[in-house]
Amino acid sequence: MEVFTYIESLPAFVQGILGSAFFAFILFIGQKAILFTSSKLNKDKLVANSFALMAKETGSNDTRVRSYLTCLYGSIHYFLKGIIVLVLSYLSTEFNYIISLVGYFISIYFLFRSLSYVPHFDSLKDSIKDRKAQLDKLDLE
């Protein structure tokens, strides 16, 4: 709290500069966080779509089941992480409200990441040739 009293004692011009710098820093960090999160979700979507395409196009029942289970495993993995963070955030509400809020946001991230592993088959192309071409184009490395 000493920092805030010191900042309040500074001239209004300096306070404006510090506020603008703080805002620019938060904006920069927020943009980097959004880019990182969207790249992770995009990669998860590519992996899930490749397994969904394999499950839809394969003639083998064994491969179909393994593809579905791989999508479900990835989804359940992040779903459990989200639930664990959600419960811990709820339990920490009594001690520190800010930490619990951050935990809630992290659990929302994990839940959306879990959702990205379960594709909807309507999002895949209609034509069999288009689906196979899309599967061949996927770069999962």
CB 71 within 8 A of CB 119: yes
- Give the pLDDT confidence of 4-31 residue by residue, as tens digits: 788 788 888 888 888 888 888 888 887 7
Q: Which amino acid is at 71?
A: C
Single out the residue of 72, 58, 64, 66 nearest to residue 128, CA to CA. 58
Single out the residue of 41, 19, 116 nearest to residue 71, CA to CA. 116
Q: Which two tokens stand for residue 62?
A: 């064994």
- Give the pLDDT confidence of 34-74 residue by residue, as tens digits: 777 777 767 767 777 777 777 777 777 787 788 778 878 88
Share of the chain above pLDDT 70, in %: 81
- Give the pLDDT confidence of 88-128 residue by residue, as tens digits: 999 988 888 888 888 898 899 888 888 877 766 555 555 55
